Structure 1
């Protein structure tokens, strides 16, 4: 796909300094820019590359003042980094929206329906009584079980699995290998030491604008629903157990694990490898640091938790200043005991 610089400036609300009819069809790093590509300059450390780049155009901020001559065309926007991000988003949307129709072989049960401008990739499977909205993209080898509902503009990437009765909102994105609606981890101990599986008869609900990363699993509820609310973003390789509720606009980084029936508030940040036990609540705007374990309900909003088990960050740092000196403190205590 190619776009004129004038079209790009219109998308970004910017101004072209040069010929707006020049065309670009590629996004480049400024240090690797070549003719036909567009880049951006937001960090002053990269300014020297502006005077060397072969990129057709470079996005810069309105207040940028070059110190040397250059050969590229500038597109001035309010914020260069934000502008390039918007361009990436627009490019991705154009790329994803380009696919329509059905590739063979692909299967959709006759009882299911799909809205206009949809796409079904080769070897994709859609089960019984499913309803898919307009402009839904089902990529190759994706699996959609029975009685699934998917909202408009949602993308299911290759190899993703959407199990029976799942409900996925509009403008969601499910990345490769993700599993939505797998059985929750429910087993009842028996008197002979064995475990009996507890049927998991609930479902998963993803509200609008939710993103699920590659190889992430979201388990269905034992009863009722596991719910990920509007705007939440889940990274790759995250485990979300049965009956969990994730609040609006909460983000969860890779390898975090959320145990069953826990409720996480809105606008929270859960960093990588964090572990959260089951049947607790975490207040809105909470940040859970990397490798942090949370074992009890967090009632006060806005806290930053750190350490294992996690406690308030300032208290952790104070304690850590003692932890790292324990060896020396022990030696001093023994010396004092000898003197005593």
Structure 2
């Protein structure tokens, strides 16, 4: 894939300082730039590299003023970081949209239907009565069960498993190895100490513009639905249990576990290795720090929660200031006790 600098500038609504007809076909780090590559400069720490880079072009912000001669062509945009992000997105979509057709062997049941401009990779499987929208990319070794619906422009990466009755919206991305709609963890204790499995007959609903990370699991509901709402971004290796609801535009980092029937609000930020107990409600715009354990509902909007078991962050920091000095406090107490 090859672009002229003029085409790049048009995509970014920028201005070329130099020859617009030069061509680039690769995205480079500025410190590793070579001929044919395009990079960007947004952090002052990397400014020295712009005078050394061999990249054909560098995207810079409008207010960038070089302190000496620059040997690369500059493309000036309003914000270099945002501009390069736009270019990455364009490149990514351009690459993915070129994948059209069916690789063999693959399987789609005769009762299922798939929209135009789609792609089915080798060894992919699509079950009965599925409805798949336009421009959906199903990569190799993807398993899709029966009665699954997938909206337009969604990408299912290699090895993902989409179990029966799952509903996935438009413009979603399911990364490699993710499993959606597997059985929830439901067992009834018996009088003899054993556990009887409880059938999990619900499903998973994923709304539009959701990203699900690699090897993440989202369990189907016992009854009803596990729901991931519009705009949610889920990292790799996250466990979301049965009947959980995740509110719009919430982000969840790696190795977090959310227990059954918990409701997470909108625009929450959940850091890595967070553990959340079942049947709780987490208010909108809650931020939960890494390794925090949540054992009770968070009722007030906009709180930052940190620690185990999680308490309001200001209270935790006050307590921690005492905790880290306990040895000294204990020694002082013992000295006081020795005095007559």
TM-score past 0.5 threshold? yes
- Structure 1 match to 2:87: 87
| TM-score, length-scaled by structure 2 | 0.99
Cα distance in 2, alignment partners of residues 8 and 220 from structure 1:
44
Q: Does 2:286 correspond to 1:275?
A: no
Matched residue, 1:72: 72
**SS class of match (2:94):** helix
Q: What is the aligned-residue RMSD (CA, Å)?
A: 0.6
Q: CA deviation at 1:270?
A: 0.3
What residue number does 1:184 align with? Answer: 184
Query: Which residue pairs with 1:316 in the alignment?
Result: 316
2:202 matches 1:226: no
Partner of 1:299: 299
Q: Which residue of 2 aligns with 1:238?
A: 238
Structure 2 unmatched ranges of 5 or more = none
Structure 2 residue aligned with 1:111: 111
Counterpart residue number, 2:130: 130
**Aligned partners of 2:202 and 2:5: how far apart in 1?**
51
Structure 2 distance, partners of 1:338, 1:100, is 83
- Which residue does 1:12 correspond to in 2? 12
Deviations 1:42-83 (A, max 9, x none): 011111100110001000000000001011111101110111
Unaligned segments of structure 1, at least 5 residues? none
Map of 2:290 onto structure 1: 290
User: Which of structure 1's runs of 4+ aligned residues deviate more than 3 A?
Assistant: none
- Measure, in 1, the Cα distance between the counterparts of 2:145 and 2:263: 27
Q: Distance in 2 between matches of 1:302 and 1:126?
A: 42
Q: Measure how far apart 1:318 and its partner are.
A: 1.1
Give the structure 1 partner of residue 50 of structure 2: 50
Q: Distance in 2 between matches of 1:149 and 1:222?
A: 20
Deviation readout 1:137-189 (Å, 9 max, x if unpaired):
00000000000000000000000000000000000000000000000000000
Equivalenced residue count is 340
SS in 2 for 1:266: coil
SS at match of 2:330: helix
| Structure 2 match to 1:160 | 160
SS at match of 2:322: helix
C-alpha distance in 2 between matches for 1:323 and 1:13: 54
Matches of 2:244 and 2:15, distance apart in 1:
47
User: Any idea what the Cα deviations from partners look like across 1:10-56, whole Å, max 9, x if unmatched?
Assistant: 11111111111111111000000000000000011111100110001
Counterpart Cα distance in 2 of 1:254 and 1:17: 42
Residue number in structure 2 paired with 1:193: 193
d(CA) in 1 for partners of 2:275 and 2:10? 45
Q: In 2, Cα distance between the equivalents of 1:77 and 1:317?
A: 42
- The CA distance in 2 between the partners of 1:332 and 1:68, in whole Å, is 61
1:141 equivalenced with 2:141 (yes/no): yes
CA distance in 2: counterparts of 1:79 and 1:295, whole angstroms: 42
The secondary structure found in structure 1 opposite 2:19 is coil
